[in-house]
Chain A
Amino acid sequence: MTKKTEPATAPELLFSGADWDFNTLKATYDAIEDIAINDLKLDVYPNQVEVITSEQMLDAYSSIGMPLMYHHWSFGKRFVRDDVMYRKGYQGLAYEIVINSNPCISYVMEENTIVMQALVIAHAAFGHNHFFKNNYLFKQWTDAEGILDYLQFAKRYIAKCEDRFGFDAVERVLDAAHALMEQGVNRYSHPEKPNLAAELERERERAKYEDETYNDLWRTLPQAEKDDEDLDEMRRKMRVEERRAQFGLPEENLLYFLEKNAPTLQAWEREILRIVRNIGQYFYPQKQTKMMNEGCACYVHYAIMNSLYDKGLISEGAMMEFIDYHSRVVFQAEYDDPRYSGFNPYALGFAMMQDIHRICVDPTEEDRKWFPDIAGNNAPVETLKEAWAHYRDESFILQFLSPKLMRDMRMFLIDDLSSSPHLEVAAIHDDNGYRKVRRALARMHDISVREPDMQVVDVDLRGNRQLYIQHTEHDGIRLEKSEAEMTLGYIGQLWGYGVTLQAVDNETGEILHEMNFTPEDLANT
C-alpha cells in the first residue's frame, strides 16, 4: 500500500557542515571534474591540489605566488607587509593560488570551509587551468612543462652566486634587474622557451668562453676609415645604421640588451639578468590577460557551483555560503564610492562572460546588430572557449563589450587634457558613446599603452661608450621623474659607463628632455 514518493536514486549531498576531510575533498573534486569535463567540455592540464596552512600561503604569496623562488629582500618586504595586514585583519588571504604548470598546481588552505574548497577547485583547478592551457599568449610564451624545473635552477644558481660572490654583489644585480623587469620582455618576437637542459649547457658554455668572446666595445684597432672633416652625411649615416644593426638596435628589451652587450659584467651577472628576464617573460601573458583569466575562472566556478546545486549535490546552505563569497569577489565599487580603486578585473571579467553567455542564448535586437556572429547561436560555452583562446584583455574588450553591459555598469569616459583647466565628460553609455567608451576601456587594458615605451637606441662606440635610451612620449605623458632617475642609475651600474635617457615626441621625433647618468655617479653609489 505504501508508495515511494522519492526516486530511489536521489543523490546524496557531497558534504554537510563546514568541515572537510580528504574523502569529502576527493568526492567533491570528482563531482566538479565531471561537470567541468563532461558538461562544459573544458580542456585542462592534470590537477594537483595542495593543502597548505595560512602561513605557507603567506610564504607563497610573497614570492610572487611561485612554490619555488630565489631569495631577495623584496619578497621579504612583501612578506612582512602581508603578514601585518593579515594578522591585523586589514586584509584576508588570497583564497587560492594557482600555478601555470603541468600538472597545474592549486593551493587550498586548511582553514577554508568545504564550500570554499569546492569554489577554489572549480575556480582555479578548472577555470584558470583551462585558460592557461588554451589561451594563445600562454601557449606561445610560456612553458608549463618546464617552469618549475627552471625556477629550481634559478634558485640554486642565485644561491650559488651568493655563496661565491657575497650577498651584496648578488643583491646589487638583482635590484637593478628587478627595476628593469617591465622592460625585460620581448613584446613582439617569439622568445625561445626556456628549457632546463639547454639552459644549463648554455650557462656552462658562457662561463667558459666569456673571456674569449669578442666585444666590439673593446676594439682598439684604428678605424679603417678616418673621420674626415668632409665625410659626407650619407656615409656617416650609413655607419650609424651599420652600428645599430650590429647591436640589433633599436632594442625594446633593455635587460636582454644589457645581458648581451654590457661590457664589464661578469658571466654570472649576465646569467642573473637572464633569469629575471625569463621570469618576467613568463608572467607577461598573465599581465595581459588578468581580466579575461579571472573572468573565465569566475564564469567556470559559477557555472559549476550552480550545476552542483541543480544536481542536488550541495545543500541550499552551501549555496548561500558560496553566493556570499562569490558576490564579494565580483563586487564593483562605483567611481564615487570610497572603496573604488579602478575596475575590479574579477567583476568586469565575470560580467563580460555572463553577458556573452546571455547574447548567445537570449539576444536582443541590439545584440543581433552588434554581434551578428554569435547572437542567438545557443552555444555559450563554445563561444566563450573560442574567445578565451584567441584574445587578450584589450582585444577582448574591443570585440565583446556590449552596449548593455556598458549601460548596466553605467560607464562613462573622462578626458583629462593638460591644456584644459578641468576634466570633461567625453562620452557616456548612449548611442553616441558606446564605441568611444569601449575603445578607451580597451586601451586602459593594453599593457603597451599603460607601460612606457622604452628602447635602447644607440651606443657611442668611438667616444665614451655612452648608452642612449629613448622614451617615446605619447600624448605628453612623461615618466615619473624620481623613479626614472633611480632606474637610470641601475642601468648605469649594469652598463658600467654613462647612460642618457632621452624623451622624444612620438609624432615629431623631437627630443623633449634628457636625463644623464655618468660614471662619476656610479662611483658615488
Chain B
Amino acid sequence: MLYIVDRRKNPKGKSLGNRQRFMRRAKAQIKKAVEDTIRTRGITDINSGDSITIPGKTLHEPGFHHARRGGDRNYVLPGNKKFVPGDRIARPQGGDGGAGGSQASPDGDGEDEFQFTLSRDEFLDIFFEDLELPDLLKKSLKQTTAFRTARAGFSSDGTPANLSLVRTMRNSLARRIGLRRPKTAEIRDLEEKIAALQAKAEKRLSSKLTKPDEDTLHGLLADLEEAKRRMKAIPFIDPIDTRYNQFQQIPDPNTQAVMFCLMDVSGSMSEQMKELAKRFFMLLHLFLHRRYEHVDVVFIRHTSRAAEVDEETFFYSRETGGTIVSTALEEMKRVLKDRYPTDQWNIYAAQASDGDNYSNDGAKCTALLAEDLLPKCQYYAYIEITDEREAEIFSSAEGETALWKAYAPVARTNARFALKRVTKAADIFPVFRELFAKNRAEKLSGVKG
C-alpha cells in the first residue's frame, strides 16, 4: 500500500521559529558581528542582508561526555598496510589524538566558528537597535521602495478581471469582418426571404413556385447554409481577440538624488569619530534610498586640501596636516557643477567634522555655503562629532568650535541648513530625526517648490 503525498506546497520556513530563538540566544554575538560588518562594509551595501560569523562557543550545548584523552583505551581502524602486532607508534602530538582522535569522540563536531546569513530585515533590525529608532520608522525604512501601479498597454493574456472589453471587441470585429463572418441580420434577412418564397408557394394551387422563383429559393437556401456554416466556423469572440489591461509597478517617486559626504580626515578625527560619521551617512543613505529610486554617493575628504575619493579612502586612510574646511566646499561646488545639474538631481550633503578649522577660513565657508551650495541643495546637515569625555567637560561651557561659530548664523537664517552635535552611537538617530523632521522637510519643499 502506498500513499504519495506532495508536500511541496506546504508552507516553508517551518524552522523560522527555531531561527528566531537562535537569534535571540546569540543576540549579543550577532550584534557584535553586525557592528564589525558595519565597520567594514560600504555605505550603499546597508540595504541588503549579510553573512556573519560568530564564535560557536557561546552556543555550545554541553553534556556528560568522555574526555578525548587519558585513560586506557583501544580502537579498531581500517586500512592497515604495514603494521604487525607489537609495533609501536609515536603518540600523535596536538590535534585530537591523531589516528584515534575522531574515534575517541564520535560525536564531537567542530564548533569553533559559526557562519550564517542574516536576512536584510534581521540585519537592519540590529543596525537600527543601536540607533534607537522608533518602531514605526524602522518599518517604513525597511520597506522596499513604494510602488505605483500604472497602465502599461495591453497583453494577450492575463486574468479575467483585467479583460479589456473595448480592445477585445475591436479585435473581434476586425477579425469577423476580415473573415467575412455573416451578421445575424443577414441570416435573418435570408430566412425571411426564404419564408416569403415558401409562403408564396403555399398560396399557389400547385404548391410550386415558378421556375425563376424556384431558382432563387435554391440560391437562398444554399446561401443560408453557407452563412450558417461560416457563422459556426468563425466564432464571435475567439481567444486570439482577447486583450487584457496590463499594469506595471513603478517605483514612486521616480527621481534621483545625490548625497555628498564631506569629512575632515586630519589626525584629529579618531577612528571612533569616523565610525559615528559612517553610521550617520549610512542612515542618511537608507533614508534617501527609501525616497529616491537612484542615489549617488560622493565622498569628499579634506585636510588643508580636499579631494573626491572612494569610500575606502574616505573612511580608512588618515592624513596629517592642517584643516581648511572651505577646500571641501569648493570641491563639492566643482563636482556639482560638473556632474549634477540641479534640474536633474536632488542634492543632499552631510558634513562631519570635529569642528576644528583654520582660523580665517570660517568666513569663506559661510560665503560658499550661502552663495553657492545652499541654493542648490535640498538640505545640508552639519554634524559635529565630539569625544564623549570632552563633551561632558565642555557641555556647560557650550564649548563652541571654530566651525560651529561660523555655521551657527547660517543655520538661523537658512532653513536648508542644520547643525547638530553627536557624541555616541545612540545620539545618531535623535539627531538625524531632528535634522530630517517631517515639518522641516515640508518647509523645505515649500521653499523649493
Contacts and interface: CB of A to CB of B under 8 A. Distances in A.
A221 to B, nearest CB: 37
A319 interface: no
> In terms of DSSP, what is the predominant structure of the interface of chain A?
mixed
B63 A444 contact: no
B24 interface: yes
Interface in A220-262: none
A33 interface: yes
A73 B21 contact: yes
A417 interface: yes
Contact of A411 (B78, B81, B88, B117): B78
A323 interface: no
B61 interface: yes
Contact of A424 (B13, B88, B115): B88
A416 B96 CA distance: 13
Interface in A38-85: 46-53, 55-56, 58-60, 62-63, 71-77, 79-81, 83-84
B198 interface: no
B62 A486 contact: yes
Interface stretch (A131-139, A269-277, A333-341): A333-341
Contact of B65 (A411, A432, A480): A480
Given A167-B21, A444-B75, A56 B65 contact: no
A143 to B, nearest CB: 20
B10 interface: yes
Contacts of A430: 85
Interface in B133-160: none
A426 B100 CA distance: 14
B80 A63 contact: no
B114 interface: yes
Contact of B19 (A49, A80, A415, A454): A80
Contacts of A414: 74-77, 89, 99-100
Contact of A51 (B4, B21, B66, B117): B4
B6 A51 contact: yes
Contacts of A462: none
Contacts of B19: 76, 79-80
B76 A480 contact: no
Given A422-B90, A478-B67, A413 B74 contact: yes
Contacts of A313: none
Given A59-B14, A483-B63, A52 B7 contact: yes
Interface residues of A, number: 102
Nearest to A397: B76
B64 A183 contact: yes
B72 A410 contact: no
Interface stretch (A300-308, A378-386, A433-441): A433-441
Contacts of B86: 424-425
A89 interface: no
Contact of A477 (B6, B73, B78, B97): B73
Given A56-B7, A487-B63, A425 B102 contact: no
A361 interface: no
Contacts of A424: 86-89
Given A412-B77, A422-B89, A167 B24 contact: yes
B67 A479 contact: yes
Nearest to B83: A425
Interface in B349-382: none
Contacts of A53: 8, 12
B94 interface: no
Contact of B76 (A51, A72, A417, A441): A441
Nearest to A486: B62
Interface string A172-193: 0001001111110000000000
Given A49-B3, A50-B5, A56-B7, A416 B12 contact: no
Contact of A342 (B3, B80, B106): B106
A341 B81 contact: no
Interface in B9-24: 10, 12-15, 17-24
A324 B55 CA distance: 38
Given A62-B15, A71-B17, A71-B21, A418 B70 contact: yes
B8 A51 contact: yes
A411 B80 contact: yes
B160 to A, nearest CB: 29
Contacts of A340: 79, 102
B74 A426 contact: yes
A483 B18 CA distance: 24
A25 B2 CA distance: 11
Contacts of B205: none
A452 interface: yes
Given A79-B19, A84-B117, A424-B89, A440 B8 contact: no
Contact of A335 (B25, B26, B70, B78): B78
Interface in A172-220: 175, 178-183
A76 B4 CA distance: 29
A24 to B, nearest CB: 11
A328 interface: no
Contact of B3 (A48, A80, A490): A48
B233 interface: no
A411 B80 CA distance: 6
Contacts of B14: 56, 59-60, 63
Contact of B102 (A75, A342, A413): A342
Contacts of A429: 80
A47 B2 contact: yes
B91 interface: yes
Contact of B73 (A50, A81, A183, A416): A416
A50 B79 CA distance: 40
B84 interface: yes
A444 B12 CA distance: 40
B12 A63 contact: no
B1 interface: yes
Given A76-B15, A341-B102, A477 B71 contact: yes
Interface in A454-481: 454, 471, 473, 475-481
A482 B22 CA distance: 23
A110 B8 contact: yes
Contacts of B18: 62-63, 71-73, 75-76, 79
B64 A76 contact: no
A337 B79 CA distance: 9
Nearest to B104: A416
A47 B1 CA distance: 6
B12 A480 contact: no
Given A414-B99, A414-B100, A480-B65, A437 B76 contact: yes
Contact of B71 (A30, A63, A475): A475
A475 B79 contact: no
Given A422-B90, A479-B67, A417 B80 contact: no
Contacts of A49: 2-5
Contact of A476 (B15, B51, B72, B100): B72
Nearest to A407: B80
B59 interface: yes
Contact of B75 (A76, A334, A413): A413
B394 interface: no
A87 B64 CA distance: 33
Interface in B80-127: 80-81, 83-91, 97, 99-100, 102-103, 106, 114-117
Given A46-B1, A48-B3, A421-B91, 8 more contacts: A77-B114, A178-B63, A183-B64, A414-B89, A429-B80, A450-B106, A451-B64, A475-B71
Interface of A: 22, 25-26, 29-30, 33, 46-53, 55-56, 58-60, 62-63, 71-77, 79-81, 83-84, 87, 103, 107, 110, 167, 171, 175, 178-183, 332-337, 340-343, 409-419, 421-430, 432-433, 437, 440-441, 444, 450-452, 454, 471, 473, 475-484, 486-487, 490
Q: Which 7 A-B pairs have the closest CB atoms?
A: A334-B79, A76-B22, A477-B71, A76-B18, A80-B116, A486-B62, A476-B71
Interface of B: 1-8, 10, 12-15, 17-26, 51, 59-68, 70-81, 83-91, 97, 99-100, 102-103, 106, 114-117
